[in-house]
Structure 1
Amino acid sequence: MQAAHKAQAMHYALNFRTFFYSHYFSLGLRFAAGLVGVTLITLQFADMAVAMTVCIGALCTALMDMPSPLRHKFNEMSASVLLCSAVTLLISLCAPFHWLLMAMLVVVSFGACMMVVYGKKSMPLQLATLFIMTMSMEHDMTARESFIHTGLFTLGAVAYLAYAMGISWLLRHRIKQQVLAEALFELAAYIDIKADFYDTRYNLTEQFNKLIRHQSLLADRQQASRDLILRSHQNEKDAIVVQVHVCMLDLYELILSTHTDYAQLRAHLVDSPVLKTLHDLAYKAARDIESVAYDVTRKKASYAEISYEPELEAIEAELAAIQQRIDDGKPQQEALAVLRAQRNKIRAIIKMIGELHQASQKIYDTTPFWADADMGPFLSQQKYELRMILSHLRWDSPIFRFSLRVAMAISAGLVVGAWLPYAAHSYWIVLTIVIILKPSFSMTKQRRRDRIVGTVIGCVLTALIIKFLNYPAFILGALILSTVAMPTFVYLRYRYAAVAVSVMILLQMYLIAPGNENLIMERLVDTIVGAAVATAFSFVLANWEYQTLPRLVRQVLDVNLSYMQASFDLLQGKSKDDFAYRIERKRLMDSLAALSSALVRMLDEPSSKQRAVEDINLFIVQNYLLVAHVAALRAILRRHTKELPVGPVHAMLEQSHDQVVQILEHALDPDRADIEPLMTPMAPDANAVPWSGWPLVQRRIRLLQADAVKIITHREAILRDVS
């Protein structure tokens, strides 16, 4: 089982069983079918040169073909058509005038990089713009030829736009299923990490760091699911994915609430086989969630096939054995309480996974998901306003510095290309630079490694094909396969995409100019030169991650204050539903994911640029624990509804809320008064107000306050180190 567990560590879409059902593979097929189709149709009416121009137009638009709501997809791809067509015309007109061309290359590079201000979804648009800029710089045309060339490019771009929108409309529900399934697979991977908390071979601190890192990825996948599923849901099929999505989020919150003191758990049960039983239960729960995800990708209702009874019976037997030892006079009350709490939490998770299965089975007439509620706060907003770019035209803006860095690197690449022997191709050097050089040092470092390794492998494969398998049918097959693989892996494993794109472009060039024996070596040298230039300029005007830490830390604290307000309003019954709570929980998870991502990127930077690594880790962990404690309080109040003393409980929650808020405000403003006097939760008289939930609620409140206080210490340490 352990070996199988480790196998699950790889990305779900790289597993052969799930690969062909993933949206990555569907994207690859759609991409390849569109490009090949547009090219073949063009060849019926024109020669290869015209067909390649039309194909490149389709390719630039295809780079924007990602899972998105239909309206957003149309806007994004239309922007690509217009912008890339304009760049094609501009660069083609400037090409005969060398000095003007060089100036325009720098200006377009700067402008394209400034578009990064619009977020991750603008990255493919930036790449498409820079790609067509490099493809157009080699053409020496008259003005008339430039307009004809641009018209052919635009024709291909519009053709792919129409094709992609049509396919996306036909498969709109299928794409929702695939993106939802990906979020479920990542939730299963999250539980796999939690399972190892029960395994004493794993260091708890390292495991917690791993959990926090994965949470960043999970938050991203859940947001992608929200954006597609919650925007429009009118029919029965949509209703199913909405219900599965909502059930997935409820399950995620329940999993958050299961956080416990694992060190204490290990200490009390270190000699008991029940730790392995708890691990196996968590592992089975992850596989159960994966089965739901797998069935969602296959458009099937999901049914539970995993039995938890052997493990649950083993836990009950261990509880009975501990109780017997207590009856015999041995002090094991703590062990009994800890194991019983874990048993209850795991049973609740198993029940919720059952509801997840049921959500995929039901037929819904409508989508009863917060009827008439505004889903806007849950969704990514698409805003492309010029003032956003203008607001970043300042020296301290990371995006402005990145744009200058790319423009300077491209200028240097052009100069180096002019100095190299006649076989060097400046456009290939520039293309390598724009592909490798990214806004952060860590992204540049990873992209450089993948680009070089992928290009070397692609060149070797192409050389072998040309030498030993030089048959039209085989070359055509290799072209189609590489065309499918490139978009499939570009967001999954860029190294594989680099291999595919190298094979695809080199084979195309070989077909166009079969007599060029130095083709492969030229491309390899150009790639290495471009990578060297990009590496050198990754240190120029660099924006190191530690510089953003104060802003990200403050953002987490600000959002956490809003989250605590919404949480305690819900716990005290002041809110009619949990809509506001869900919004604030999402915002807090997003802010923690942003800080966690910054930390991961910083660890890839030179050691001299790393700051407060341990304190950032602990700061993220403590904020994560606040979310876990609130989720646990919700679960406790639900589980102990019998004879719930509403007045005293709400009074204690009110006092606790005030204390936690003051603690967090102190973290934001260290000049506030000392918080130690606020640390004692209300202790109601259990005899006067008997209720089974008192000890559990009080314990969680104490933990909540203690973890909130630790946030202050780590925040101060972070600011000290980065100042």
Structure 2
Amino acid sequence: MPIDNKKPKYNTAKRRIARFITAEHSGDALRNLATILLPCLLLFYLVDLHTAIGIGVGTLMASLTDLPGNRADKWKSATYCIPVFAVATFLTASTFSTPVLLIACLMLSAFAYTMLTVFGPRPAAVGSLALILMSFIIGLRPTSPVELTIHITIGACWYYLISILQARITPYRSLRYAMADGFHHLAVLLQAKAACYNPEIPIEQTYRKLGKVHIQVSDSQEGIRRLLLREEKLLSPEMNSAWLNRIYGLIDLHELLTALDYDYEAIRQTLGTTGALTPIQSLIHILSREVEAVGHAQQFKTSRNTPITQNIAVDKLLLEIGNIRNQYPAEVRTILDAIIQNIKAIIHLIGVLQKSEHNYADHGKTIKNNEYHHFIPSTNSNWRTIKNHLTFNSPIFTFAVRLAILFGAGCFLGFWMSNTNYAYWILLTLAIVARPSFINTKKRNIQRITGTLTGLTIGILLLQTVHHIPTLLGIAALGLFGFFMFNRPNYMISVIFITVAVMLALNIHEGNIERILESRLLFTFTGASLAIIGCYFIPVQQKSGMQNLANEVVRSSIAYLKTLEQQLQGNTFDNYAVRLARKNTQTILAAFSDMMHQLQTEPAQRKKDWTAPNAFHTLAYRINSLTIGLSVNIGNQCTDFTKQLQLSERSNNINNLLTDLNQLARGL
């Protein structure tokens, strides 16, 4: 019988709510709101509204470019943001009165700022927000380019002064939150793995789900490595017992969760009639909650009241699986022994993480300090990097051309509809919803349109029931806070909040609510339609990229297995070589999953037969799990000759699967 009750579910829900409220983006939302509103109020009373708006817009836009990171990351964002915003403001304000020049300026800027993506996520964020800033400036109808440029620049400088100061006071804040997110994604991975033991769910569906979750896990661990392994102070011997132990525990837990000794197909077929699959699923769900609790405890620096090693439900389920194991012949016992061994290893590691006393350096499981830089991606980009992307074979270049054309078309439509002050919402919508892939553009469109309609409805109700101006301004401020609060985790809800805030503020400032409603709807739909049309007429071709990634998946999988075979033959275990090979394989596999998922939704690819790519994807994940399972066993191996023969046989079986994978890659 599966063991479950309402209390664990209640505790899990409570932790999720607490995790959201206390997440990094929540603290950032409060900081951003204070950084924007307090100076604006002072400037409004001490100087004038015009100055307050200019500096407020600069602060607002700069805050949206500030991605989570360490002190060096904040400085990098600031060095990109401040000059780019200054140039974007001056060019837009200078050409505003001449339609032809403005259209040319917007098209060139859309292309240039989108190409900043080749330098990484921070310059990409600055480029995107620069286009949004240019859209806002058109709405401000500037009369003095120099004055507005100074105001925007002051706002950007003011924001990054606060952000960098905060990073100096709490230098490891982003790392602490990233570590908690890492455990959260592992908990989600466990939930997905539980479905693999449910014979009613098609195995291909479970592998697709695992692929999507693997992208999130890979991204979160990549973010942790970037934050931790670039901080020399955290790699010092004095700090080894803290942050390094946590990331080793996180990554080793991921290894245990991914490891397989037998295919899920074989497990389902062999255990399907034994009754063992149900308690295994229940046990995995409990482990998922425990892993989530580990992340929660590390985020809030608390300890677990009841360690997993004393969890009665876990003991009962293990006993139930053990009793089933004793009732069946050798084939069933062998598979259940492997599953029980893996689960016990997971339980042991969770218990270690709950105690926070384990030192990996004491057990020879670490790598040398001078080897850590191999585990973080290279950031040696320069202006020659752009030259290499000036081809339609580059998705970044293709999207930059598309966005430039869309901005030109949007600006033309805005001038054609010159009877309204809000035509800039076309460009604003384009800058926000247009994405390289069709699926992301469609998703953003749905979120923006749904959020806009909901926000307008709420705004109308508020204006009909509340007439006290200070109260409406307070609600608008809460709307701005809600926008910052939900901008990262749920864009649609953030659109609801910002629509309410903008609607109330514009109505107080200008009046004429009917015109505001009409313009918001008309130009949001126009911008959203242009973004979708652009996906059809200028699609981002990624098929060759998928083929190259498939070849890389095969190459890295073979390299990973060869690394393990060398360990097996030499009866040694090189942590550096094995960890690096595993990391490279999983990163490439996640990139392939992401690209295939995006390609399957592109309009030009919908009629394509995806049988072969799906088969490749499923087999690649099977091989990865089996290879990691082999790695775990080699790392724990003894000198027993029979054990080594069994491991060698498993290695040969994986080699045969790699041959099949290579054949599938050639046929993509």
If each structure's helix is expressed as a fraction of its own residues, which one has the higher value?
2
Q: Cα gap change, 1:139/1:17 in structure 2, threshold over 3 Å: closer, same or farther?
A: closer
Q: Which secondary structure state, in structure 2, belongs to the residue aligned with residue 374 of structure 1?
A: helix
TM normalised by structure 2 equals 0.91
Q: Cα gap change, 1:314/1:60 in structure 2, threshold over 3 Å: closer, same or farther?
A: same
Matches within 5 A, 1:584-663: 584-606=581-603, 608-609=605-606, 611-641=608-638, 643-644=639-640
Query: What's the offset of the Cα at 1:527?
Result: 0.6
Aligned to 2:424: 427
Aligned to 1:260: 262
Matches within 5 A, 1:485-500: 485-500=482-497
Q: Which secondary structure state, in structure 2, belongs to the residue aligned with residue 555 of structure 1?
A: helix
Q: Cα gap change, 1:360/1:607 in structure 2, threshold over 3 Å: closer, same or farther?
A: farther
Question: Which AA in structure 2 matches 1:192?
Answer: Q
Structure 2 residue 509 is matched with structure 1 residue 512: yes
Equivalent residue in structure 1 for 2:370, among 369, 373, 392: 373
Question: Which AA in structure 1 matches 2:646?
Answer: L
Deviations 1:275-310 (A, max 9, x none): 211111111111111110111121224465341211
Is the Cα–Cα contact under 8 Å of residues 230 and 242 in structure 1 kept in the other structure? Answer: no
Q: In 1, distance between residues paired with 2:455 and 2:120? A: 31
Deviations 1:158-194 (A, max 9, x none): 0000101112222332321111000100001101111
Matches within 5 A, 1:268-667: 268-302=270-304, 304-306=306-308, 307=311, 308-322=314-328, 332-359=329-356, 370-420=367-417, 422-423=419-420, 425-573=422-570, 577-606=574-603, 608-609=605-606, 611-641=608-638, 643-644=639-640
Query: What's the offset of the Cα at 1:578?
Result: 1.2
Aligned to 1:218: 217
Q: In 1, distance between residues paired with 2:3 and 2:442? A: 33
Q: Cα gap change, 1:364/1:372 in structure 2, threshold over 3 Å: closer, same or farther?
A: closer
Q: In 1, distance between residues paired with 2:534 and 2:114? A: 15
Q: Cα gap change, 1:574/1:379 in structure 2, threshold over 3 Å: closer, same or farther?
A: farther
Q: In 2, distance between residues paired with 1:340 and 1:446? A: 45
Deviations 1:218-246 (A, max 9, x none): 10011111111222263677842321111
Query: What's the offset of the Cα at 1:594?
Result: 0.9
Is the Cα–Cα contact under 8 Å of residues 111 and 404 in structure 2 kept in the other structure? Answer: yes
Q: In 1, distance between residues paired with 2:627 and 2:241? A: 29
Greater RCO (Cα-Cα under 8 Å, separation 6 or more) = 2
Is the Cα–Cα contact under 8 Å of residues 442 and 605 in structure 1 kept in the other structure? Answer: yes
Q: Cα gap change, 1:569/1:523 in structure 2, threshold over 3 Å: closer, same or farther?
A: same
Q: In 1, distance between residues paired with 2:631 and 2:491? A: 42
Question: Which AA in structure 2 matches 1:84?
Answer: F
Aligned to 1:89: 90
Deviates more, 1:386-395 or 1:299-308: 299-308
Query: What's the offset of the Cα at 1:129?
Result: 0.8
Q: Cα gap change, 1:617/1:164 in structure 2, threshold over 3 Å: closer, same or farther?
A: same
Is the Cα–Cα contact under 8 Å of residues 196 and 202 in structure 1 kept in the other structure? Answer: yes
Q: Cα gap change, 1:12/1:212 in structure 2, threshold over 3 Å: closer, same or farther?
A: farther
Q: Cα gap change, 1:561/1:567 in structure 2, threshold over 3 Å: closer, same or farther?
A: same
Is the Cα–Cα contact under 8 Å of residues 197 and 277 in structure 2 kept in the other structure? Answer: yes
Q: Which secondary structure state, in structure 2, belongs to the residue aligned with residue 538 of structure 1?
A: helix
Aligned residues: 656
Q: Which secondary structure state, in structure 2, belongs to the residue aligned with residue 15 of structure 1?
A: helix
Aligned to 2:147: 148
Deviates more, 1:598-607 or 1:220-229: 598-607
Q: Cα gap change, 1:704/1:141 in structure 2, threshold over 3 Å: closer, same or farther?
A: closer
Aligned to 2:157: 158
Is the Cα–Cα contact under 8 Å of residues 103 and 412 in structure 2 kept in the other structure? Answer: no
Q: In 2, distance between residues paired with 1:454 and 1:165? A: 32
TM normalised by structure 1 equals 0.85
Q: In 2, distance between residues paired with 1:2 and 1:84? A: 57
Q: In 2, distance between residues paired with 1:547 and 1:321? A: 52
Q: Which secondary structure state, in structure 1, belongs to the residue aligned with residue 602 of structure 2?
A: coil
> Which structure's CA Rg is the greater one?
1
Query: What's the offset of the Cα at 1:524?
Result: 1.3
Question: Which AA in structure 2 matches 1:178?
Answer: Y
Matches within 5 A, 1:45-60: 45-60=46-61
Query: What's the offset of the Cα at 1:334?
Result: 0.9
Deviations 1:67-109 (A, max 9, x none): 1121022111221111011110121122233322221111111
Structure 2 residue 658 is matched with structure 1 residue 708: yes
Q: Cα gap change, 1:285/1:233 in structure 2, threshold over 3 Å: closer, same or farther?
A: farther
Q: Cα gap change, 1:281/1:534 in structure 2, threshold over 3 Å: closer, same or farther?
A: same
Question: Which AA in structure 1 matches 2:29?
Answer: G
Q: Cα gap change, 1:580/1:57 in structure 2, threshold over 3 Å: closer, same or farther?
A: same
Structure 2 residue 189 is matched with structure 1 residue 190: yes
Is the Cα–Cα contact under 8 Å of residues 53 and 149 in structure 1 kept in the other structure? Answer: yes
Question: Which AA in structure 2 matches 1:86?
Answer: V
What percentage of aligned pairs have identical amino acids?
22
Query: What's the offset of the Cα at 1:138?
Result: 4.3
Q: In 1, distance between residues paired with 2:355 and 2:68? A: 26
